[in-house]
Amino acid sequence: MNTLAILLVVATFSAINAVNTYKDCGSTSGRITRITVNPCPQEPCVLIRGTNVSVEVEFTSNVPTNNVTTSVHGIIGAIPVPFMTSNSCANNNVVCPITANSNNIYRNYIPVLKLYPSLTLIVKWELKDDQGNDLVCFVLPASIADSYPGVGRGTHIYIDDGGDLRTISYAADTNNMSLTVLTCTVIAVTVLAICTAKPINFKTCENAPKTIDSVDISPCSKQPCEFKHGMNVTVTVNFTAPAVSSKLTSEIYGIVAGIPIKFAMPNSNGCLKSGLQCPINSSTKYSYVQFFAVIPTYPLISLNVQWDLKDENGKYEFCFVFPMMIVS
């Protein structure tokens, strides 16, 4: 199972703690002997916003390799969010080349940015060899907060007796909502289909102009819109262009625990097969039509979706947010 590494940081190098709650997630080319996170005075590790968290991994390599690549993801609600990919040899995180049956020490850190929301997550950390196989792969439960000692109300992540990572979520003060118990699996999010389009209630994105007259989503018989695996969802946005533009780019984000996660689109070119003919003119009404697919591997989940269309200067032609659910 994949998990994530959103942040492990420390502005101080005081008490260094070997962690015990990690799980090996497929170290096929090596063997982990010890993982140290600093600071981590208690487990699951609490990562303080605005600090740097250091990670040290002692491991034995089963194979020789000239290169080592670091890949770090944060798993939030089963969605892997990429946080770092880097050349570990070039950055002197580990001594290269690595020989077979050798003992090695890897050191790195990740900044826990102040813009990160308070939440719990699973950090997935991988070190890959020349062949793309994992020298090291581990997942580690953690939480992001403003201070110690704990995660407070929200979600607790732990490793059960069978070695599986699980989360228990409960009422959170900040969002006034209840979450359910879930087992971490790999996920994603999107939606679509073909029915009678129906205008929906939406919210204009912050810092975006209010250019939208209406948003029609098909199928969506009620809100929040409910979509099933395998569906194609059609979105029609009726808007008034705020400026002249000869190039348009569309983006979709799933908002999970306050973090926007960008999703691939079948067609991100707003001037191509979208009902628009570029260039578009200022103060002129247009209808943008596009779709996205609800892939069978997506988990059953509730979330907000952000959809935007930008011009060649990165400025919004429109941007809106709407709630949706993937259901069985």
Q: What is the pLDDT of residues 162-213, one digit of tens each?
A: 444 443 332 333 232 222 222 222 222 222 223 344 578 899 998 899 999 9
Question: Does 21 share its domain with 167?
Answer: yes
Q: What is the pLDDT of residues 72-129, one digit of tens each?
A: 887 776 677 777 788 999 888 999 999 999 999 999 988 887 767 777 888 999 999 9
At residue 285, does pLDDT exceed 90? yes
Question: Does 135 share its domain with 28?
Answer: yes
Q: What is the pLDDT of residues 12-68, one digit of tens each?
A: 233 346 777 788 999 999 999 999 999 888 888 888 888 888 999 999 999 999 999
Boundaries of domain holding 174: 17-183
Q: How far is CA 195 from the centre of its chain?
A: 30
Tokens of 190: 């999107």
Within a domain: 8 = no
Within a domain: 230 = yes
Question: Does 95 share its domain with 203?
Answer: no
Number of domain units in the chain: 2
Question: Does 319 share its domain with 270?
Answer: yes
What pLDDT was estimated at residue 195?
A: 33
Strand order in the sheet with 155-159: 155-159, 165-169, 182-183
Give the Cα-Cα-Cα angle 50, 54, 60 (nearest 5 degrees).
Answer: 160
What pLDDT was estimated at residue 187?
A: 25
Question: Does 109 share its domain with 144?
Answer: yes
**Residue 311 burial (CB count, 10 A):** 21
CATH no. for residue 315? 2.60.40.770
Domain end call among 157, 183, 209: 183
Q: Which residue bears the tokens 């110690």?
A: 148
Task: Report CA-CA distances (Å) from 199 to 147, 204, 260, 291.
Answer: 44, 15, 24, 15
Within a domain: 10 = no
> Is the Cα torsion angle 194, 198, 202, 207 positive or negative in sign?
positive
What pLDDT was estimated at residue 16?
A: 46
Asked if residues 124 and 3 have their Cβ atoms less than 8 Å apart, the reply is yes
Question: Does 129 share its domain with 210?
Answer: no
Question: Does 158 share its domain with 31?
Answer: yes
Question: Does 270 share its domain with 303?
Answer: yes
Question: Does 176 share its domain with 203?
Answer: no
Question: Does 292 share its domain with 316?
Answer: yes
Within a domain: 250 = yes
What pLDDT was estimated at residue 122?
A: 85
Q: What is the pLDDT of residues 220-244, one digit of tens each?
A: 888 888 988 888 888 899 999 999 9
Rounded-to-integer distance, Cα 138 and Cα 124, Å: 6
Angular region, 193: left φ>0, alpha ψ -120 to 50, beta rest: left
Q: How many Cα atoms occupy the beta-carbon half-sphere of 36 within 13 Å?
A: 16
Question: Does 125 share its domain with 264?
Answer: no
More confident residue, 81 or 270: 270
What pLDDT was estimated at residue 112?
A: 82
Rounded-to-integer distance, Cα 167 and Cα 189, Å: 19
Within a domain: 128 = yes
Within a domain: 190 = no
More confident residue, 11 or 164: 164
What pLDDT was estimated at residue 200?
A: 82
Within a domain: 25 = yes
